[in-house]
Every structure is written in structure tokens, then in C-alpha cells.
Amino acid sequence: MTNEPRTPEGQQPRHEPHPNHDRGLEFDLSTLISRRSLGMFLGAGTAAALAACTPGGTSSAPSGSPSSSTSATATPSASATTTTTAPSATASGSPTVTRAIAECGVEIPQETAGPYPGDGSNGPNVLAASGVVRQDITSSFGTSTTEATGVPLTVTLTLLDNANGCVPLAGAAVYAWHCDKEGRYSLYDSGLENENFLRGVQEADANGQVTFKTIYPGAYNGRWPHIHFEVFESMNNATAAGQVLAVSQIALTDAACRQVYASTGYETSARNFPNTTLQSDNVFGEDGGIYQLATMSGSVSGGYAAGLNVTI
């Protein structure tokens, strides 16, 4: 992994991935452990493995990943909207969380943060910037207000505390980031070095849930469409780029990708998407992304909702 952002001279053509992009967890360790100890990163001591569980309910913003029998063929519902209902104030009031707890415990592997994390482990550190704590991550904050455009997407993660019987992990924090509709990453790609859109931090509520409003990521060669996230034990740790509990990625469904990439503005993604499958992806390929594949619903006109349950 390079320790510097790409320069225009060194940048790969837009239709090709960077040669170091998401080459795996081991490839990232040499950089990550300069900020975090190896024990922290791998979940030694009090940190636990990351897992995803089958979701419950069919809300407009689902909060879990599908079971192996349904995830690969999940078809978005046309009735979904971009409006996300806020989780209830108490965990016991959420059927989605109740089912997540009952089905908690399926571990998924820790994944690479990739070469463009923006968390201080590889160049810029957006976590130290005022304004990074936000729900809507579509626009840049600070000195720029540039907005990333695309099909609306609401992402909800439900965090569960494995050490305490999979109760909702209230108070933890999630940093999420992903590429724009053309497959470019803010802070790193040529012309986007001063932008920080499609990056943000949220604190888990009483239901252990965090929700981000964003746009549907594009597809670039070498990777299946995905969203990166890191889980921190607290908001203070997140904004200080402190101890990280888990690093993983959300895989988006084939059906939703095909629909979105057939829409205006995603022409580059439409060309790139057929070139990489879940099975050939160098992150999800080992198990086809079965434990990281989001539950999804929605439509191009109304926007999409994606959800994943993660056990910490």
C-alpha cells in the first residue's frame, strides 16, 4: 500500500483499479499497526470478531444481512422509499433488533480498509476534522460543499455486543466511506484531494443502530460494489482515530446494482460491473460475500435502502 495519495501522473486510467486497491487485510497491516496495535486490530483482549446476522422485518431501511439462501438473489422492493424511520428509543421496541439478537453469532472475516481509508492510516485523516460526525454524507464539509450526486441510498448498520449476549451495542461509533458513482474516492483521486464527501461518522443509538444517507456507489474494475466501514468502541475513539474494534465491507446486491447502473449517470459503472463477480472479487470471493451482503430494497426513482447486522 502506498503511503501517499495518488498523483495525476501515477493515477490509473479511470477504467482500471489502482494496482494496490483492496489487496487484502494482510497487505494493510503494515500501515494500520503504525497507528493501532496488532492486538487491537485483530480483536485481541476485549475486542471481538465481526459477524453479520440474518435481518428481520421489511422496513424501508432494513438493518440486517440476508441468510445464505436468499442473499445472492435478493430483489429490491419497489415500495421502498428514501425516508428512514428513526429507531425507537429503547432496544426492546425494535422487532428488527429482536430478531438480530436471536440470530446473532455468524462471524464474518475482518476485511481490508483499502488504500483510501482517510482515517490517518494511509495519508489524510478525515476523522480529526470538525464536521465528520453526520448522518448525510453526500456532500463535502469544511472548506468545500461539493455534493456527490447519484441514486439515493440509506445504509443502516445494527451493532450487537457478542460479549454480553448480543444486546445492542449502544454508544459505539461507525466510520463509513465509499466511492462516488464514477468509482472515485474523495481525499485521494486526482481533483478530489480537497473533497471529503461520502465519508462520515455516526454513534450507535439505544438499538445499536447507525444510519447514513448517501448515494449508490459506482463500480470499478477489480471490485464488486461495496461500502467500507470501521467500528470504534466510542465516539471519542472514532474522532480521535483511536482503537478500532472491527474493519469490514458491505457488499451490495446484484439486482440493485443492475438497476442502478442502467440509470443515467452510471454509464461507467454499467461498463465495469460485468467484469467482476462476487466470487472473483478479491475481498468477498472466499465465500461469495454471503455474510456481508446487505439486505436491500427500493428503486431507482425512489432510492434504495441497505442494511447489515454486525456482531462485535
Stretch (H or E) spanning 260: helix 254-261
**pLDDT band, very low/low/confident/very high, at 198 (cuts 50, 70, 90):** very high
Are 127 and 239 contacting, i.e. CB atoms less than 8 angstroms apart?
yes
pLDDT above 90 coverage of the chain, percent: 55
Q: How would residue 31 be classed by pLDDT, with cut points 50, 70 and 90?
A: very low
Report residue 177 as a C-alpha cell.
466511506
Phi, psi dihedral angles at 167 (to 5 degrees): -75, 155
Give me the mean pLDDT over the 31-50 stretch. Answer: 36
Averaged pLDDT of the chain: 76
- Cell numbers given for 263: 440509470
* b/e per residue 265-293 (b: at least 16 CB within 10 A): bbebbbebbeebebeebbbbeeebbbbbb
| Residues 134, 201 contacting (CB under 8 angstroms) | yes
- Least confident segment among 91-100, 137-146, 299-308: 91-100
Instruction: Of 24-28, 32-36, 126-130, 141-145, give the lowest mean pLDDT range.
Output: 32-36
Check pLDDT > 60 for residue 4. no
C-alpha closest to that of 251 among 208, 303, 290: 290
Per the model's pLDDT, the better-predicted residue between 59 and 285 turns out to be 285
User: Over the stretch 201-249, which tens digit does the pLDDT of each residue have?
Assistant: 999 999 999 999 999 999 999 999 999 999 999 999 998 877 888 999 9
Would you say 124 and 118 are in contact if contact means Cβ atoms under 8 Å apart?
Answer: yes
**Tell me, what amino acid is at 229?**
F
Contact 211, 204 (CB under 8 A): no
The model's confidence at residue 46, banded by pLDDT at 50, 70 and 90, is very low
Contact call for residues 169 and 208 (beta carbons, < 8 A):
yes
R_g of the chain computed on alpha carbons: 18
